[in-house]
Chains A and B, each alone.
Chain A
Amino acid sequence: MTNIILRRVLLATCLLPLPGCRLDFTRSQRGQPLKFDDFHELQPRETRREDAVEKLGAPDRVRWESGKSRLTWEHEDSTFIQLRLQVPFSIFGYRHNLFQYFEDQRNVNAMDLLFDESGLLEQKTLRLHDAYKTPHEPGSWRFVLTPRFEHSFLLLGDADFQDYDEIFDDGFVAGFDLGIQPVPPAVVKLGGRYQIHDGRTISAGATRVSFDDLELFTAEASVRLQLPLRILFDTEQLQNVWTLLLEDDPAVFEGWLVFLEAGLGVTFNGNVPVALDGVPGGNFFDAGPGVSSSIGVGIEYSWEGISVQAAFVYRTSDGFDEGNSPLPSDADRFQSFLGMASVSLKF
């Protein structure tokens, strides 16, 4: 009964914020991409205004400055990313924000041409958004907070009486990681996990054996290595893997990434009571600690302050302690394969 109440409280805690949780991605493009090739062909003191507008099209701005005309072509490409945690119900349409974080990046590329009174090109200028990036400060560390959800789709291991997948259903893992990113290719993390698998009822001869749920509580330290996905498709960049591992500019690690992570920790399992033909038959497994480990591989899409990940994870922990039930329960390692999805906030 206590387990059921605890499970319902956990589920309610997980589900309650969901209706108020929103992740918004908005991109806005205004104007046409600039014709840089044509721009580079323009020659000061040679190109006339009519030739310039013939090649570049209509300018977005025309200004007169002391008898000289300045023509400007602009292209804006803006990205807006926002995470909101709100109260899950609205009061007359109003929803209170519990937490809101956004990144608004407006990138403007511009070509600027100044013509003298006779219409001859006097000066040409490019304004590219890369030139306005905040200079990167080498050595700055970042923190990474990652709530994560995993679904188990395969259980392996011998629980003595039966294999694990015979006595437990597929389950899920919910947890979080708090990491430090000393350099962009590596993250060192500490995290906590809660894993649950529903117990099954099976027949053993003429006896119906009902297992209670298996619950695992894990504290884990892990290391993650990541590289831009583009290197896998570019043989020239494959030669630069080592250079990338030493890279200290976070901007290089934006976009698609591939990652590998491995962790080591301690897992506490709860008691697993068993019932024989509906009569309590003691514990199949006793509660106790064990060493656990995990390894995962996946892909990520990363922006400057936020990223989303998907991965396959393999988790294993020591065989659980034998209980006092009449069933044999000298178990081997408990192993599970899981699909993982998560969102990381970097600050």
Chain B
Amino acid sequence: MPIDIKLCSACFTVLLAGCAIMGRQQRENPIDRAKVNQVQRGMTKSEVTDILGAPVEIIFSNKEHDPLREHAYIFEHVTTKYTGITFGLLSFGNVDEKKDRVVVFFDERGDVESVGKTLLSHESSYGFPFGK
């Protein structure tokens, strides 16, 4: 009979020994939604950078006659949330990365032609690796 108690204790010790790890990583500066909405078609590049600051990346035209024309400015802020949960022999990990990303396209004259925006970094979440 004592062997059963030892067995149960050993099983519980092994199976219940666990831990949880949670972490959040943020890259680049946060993007203010209100400021993004201030960027309007027809604005100049300097007006855009006055509002949003320096872009993270600049896309250049590769046209033969105008290879250094700035075609688009990219602004980005990335939030990644990490979840790690261990139950004895099983461990579950989840990584959820969401971005705030704004791409401002310029026309031939260098004025704003259009603004593409995806502001979803706040939707990054902790969780198990199941479901959608």
Contact = CB atoms under 8 A, between A and B. Distances in A.
A315 interface: no
Nearest to A33: B132
B116 A53 contact: yes
B129 A27 contact: yes
A285 B105 CA distance: 87
Interface string A58-92: 11101111110100000000011000000000000
Contacts of B94: 26-28
Contact of A18 (B14, B62, B115): B14
Interface residues of B, number: 39
Given A23-B89, A58-B101, A65 B62 contact: yes
Contacts of B10: 15
B116 A58 contact: yes
B113 A119 contact: yes
A149 B98 CA distance: 41
A32 B118 contact: yes
A64 B103 contact: no
B116 A64 contact: no
Interface string B108-132: 0000011111101000000001100
A56 B116 contact: yes
Contacts of B62: 64-67
Contacts of A56: 116
B129 to A, nearest CB: 3
A53 B103 CA distance: 9
Contact of A26 (B1, B4, B71, B129): B129
A32 B115 contact: no
B95 interface: yes
Contact of B91 (A24, A169, A198): A24
Contacts of B92: 24-26
Contacts of B130: 27
B103 A58 contact: yes
A29 interface: yes
A30 interface: yes
A24 B93 contact: yes
Nearest to A77: B132
Interface centre among A25, A56, A69 (most CB of B within 10 A): A25
A11 interface: yes
Contacts of A60: 101
Interface string B69-108: 0011010000000000000011111111111011101000
A287 interface: no
A21 B59 CA distance: 49
B97 A49 contact: no
Contacts of A79: 129
A38 interface: no
A22 B117 CA distance: 42
Given A49-B114, A50-B105, A62 B72 contact: yes
A50 B112 CA distance: 10
Given A53-B114, A58-B116, A79-B129, A26 B101 contact: no
A29 B10 CA distance: 37
Given A25-B92, A26-B129, A64-B61, 15 more contacts: A22-B91, A27-B93, A27-B95, A27-B129, A30-B95, A30-B97, A32-B120, A49-B105, A50-B105, A53-B115, A60-B101, A64-B62, A79-B129, A80-B93, A198-B4
10 residue pairs, one from A and one from B, having the closest CB atoms? A53-B116, A50-B114, A27-B129, A26-B93, A57-B118, A28-B95, A58-B101, A58-B116, A30-B97, A58-B103
Interface of B: 1, 3-4, 7, 10, 14, 41, 59-63, 71-72, 74, 89-99, 101-103, 105, 113-118, 120, 129-130
20 contacts: A8-B3, A24-B92, A25-B93, A26-B95, A27-B93, A27-B130, A29-B95, A49-B105, A49-B114, A50-B41, A50-B105, A53-B115, A54-B116, A56-B116, A67-B63, A79-B129, A80-B93, A119-B113, A169-B4, A198-B1
Interface of A: 4, 7-8, 11, 15, 18-19, 21-32, 49-50, 53-54, 56-60, 62-67, 69, 79-80, 119, 169, 198
